[in-house]
Amino acid sequence: MAKGISSPSSSEEGRECRHEVHAEKMSSLGHFTQAIVHDIRNSLHIVVTASAMIKRRSDDPSIHNHLNAIDQTIERTNGLIERILTFANNSEDHLGIIDLSGSIDESISLTRPMIPPEITVDWQHPAKAMHILGDHGQLYQVVLNLLKNAIEAIGRGNCGSILVTLNKFYPWAELRVKDSGPGIAADVIDLICEPAFTTKADGNGFGLANVFDVVEKHGGTMEVASPAGEGAEFIILLPLMPELNI
Ligand SMILES: Nc1ncnc2c1ncn2[C@@H]1O[C@H](COP(=O)(O)OP(=O)(O)OP(=O)(O)O)[C@@H](O)[C@H]1O
Ligand SMILES: [Mg+2]
């Protein structure tokens, strides 16, 4: 049976989601990241300029201390931005033995700046490492796309929650991303990982296609569940490395 995204109602046939639009998908994700980075950099630039101006006009050491703290925070944020860009532009495969738990942990941290304060992200995972053969950068894209979709489903400005869980069901690692949004309508649920399928006015429709591509490259499967009124839940299974997990 073809691997692919399936909903509980269509899981018997599964869904074939292979496609040849990798470059477009990567460019869609890259554009999204660059748009965010552009806005963040503009905002940071305003703060840095204001900080420098106040420093020039004030001899008060306590004000200088506060401004130095602001400058350091901005420097750290700029470092974070560089790491996000490195990940988002990384379309080559770099498979290696990675701790999935640590990888997702870092991906969520990198994504935090785009999460509105009204939306909480609860990340639950076992303390022990969970080793897979994987590409850290590509797994970041999985987390980024699923969180981006969850945020957009809840709607910026609305209160909501996203639950991210990782569990071991040997020989699989199971990653779930569940949101408190409106869920996915039954008539489109089988289409959502089709490239260029979108229900959003400003969507490109390549996010889930990209997620599916990465999951497939990692030898995994993806399902979506969206019971009426309960939000959407994406369930990804990735094969664990036997020698390190038994
Ligand atoms: N968490 C979710 N809740 C509700 N609907 C969702 C969710 N995730 C995806 N969808 C639906 O699946 C469609 C396809 O998602 P996908 O991420 O591929 O594209 P997009 O978000 O529309 O655009 P892009 O990610 O390229 O900016 C969305 O337009 C939306 O209708
Ligand atoms: Mg999307």
Q: Which of 152, 170, 173 is nearest to 162 (CA)?
A: 152
From the CA of 199, the nearest ligand is 1
Q: Record the tokens describing residue 151, joined without a space.
A: 């945020």
Residues 6+ apart with CB under 8 A from 89: 30, 33
Distance 206 CA to ligand 1 centre (A): 8
* Separation CA 40–CA 83 (nearest Å): 14
- Amino acid at residue number 39: D
Number of domains in the chain: 2
Distance 214 CA to ligand 1 centre (A): 16
CATH number at residue 213: 3.30.565.10
Q: Record the tokens describing residue 10, joined without a space.
A: 């269509």
Whether residues 42 and 133 fall in one domain: no
Whether residues 220 and 132 fall in one domain: yes
Whether residues 75 and 131 fall in one domain: no
Name the region of 82 (left: φ>0; alpha: ψ -120 to 50; beta: rest).
alpha
- Residue-number span of the structural domain to which 39 is assigned: 33-88
Tell how far CA 154 is from the center of its chain: 15
Tell how far CA 10 is from the center of its chain: 25
Put simply, whether the predicted model's pTM sits higher than 0.75 gets the answer no
Distance 208 CA to ligand 2 centre (A): 6
pLDDT by 10s per residue, the chain, length 246: 233 455 544 443 334 344 344 455 555 666 777 778 888 888 898 999 999 999 999 999 999 999 999 998 898 788 777 766 765 665 557 789 999 999 999 999 988 888 999 999 999 999 999 999 999 888 998 999 999 999 999 998 899 999 999 999 999 999 999 999 999 999 999 999 988 899 998 887 888 988 998 999 899 999 999 988 899 999 999 999 986 544
Q: Which of 52, 56, 65, 17 is nearest to 197 (CA)?
A: 17
Whole-angstrom Cα Rg for the chain: 20
Q: Which of 114, 165, 104, 89 is nearest to 140 (CA)?
A: 104
* Residue 216 placed within a domain: yes
Residues 6+ apart with CB under 8 A from 232: 149, 150, 153, 178, 179, 181, 183, 184, 224, 225, 226
Whether residues 81 and 113 fall in one domain: no
User: Measured from the CA of 198, which atom of ligand 1 is nearest?
Assistant: 29
Res 26: pLDDT: 53
Cβ atoms 148, 32 nearer than 8 A: yes
Name the residue of 111, 178, 198 to mutate for ligand 1: max ligand atoms within 8 A of Cβ: 198
- Cβ of 89 closer than 6 Å to ligand 1, yes or no, is no
- Cβ of 149 closer than 6 Å to ligand 1, yes or no, is yes
Res 207: pLDDT: 87
* Residue 122 placed within a domain: yes
Distance 146 CA to ligand 2 centre (A): 7
Whether residues 118 and 188 fall in one domain: yes
Name the residue of 15, 22, 32, 149 to mutate for ligand 1: max ligand atoms within 8 A of Cβ: 149
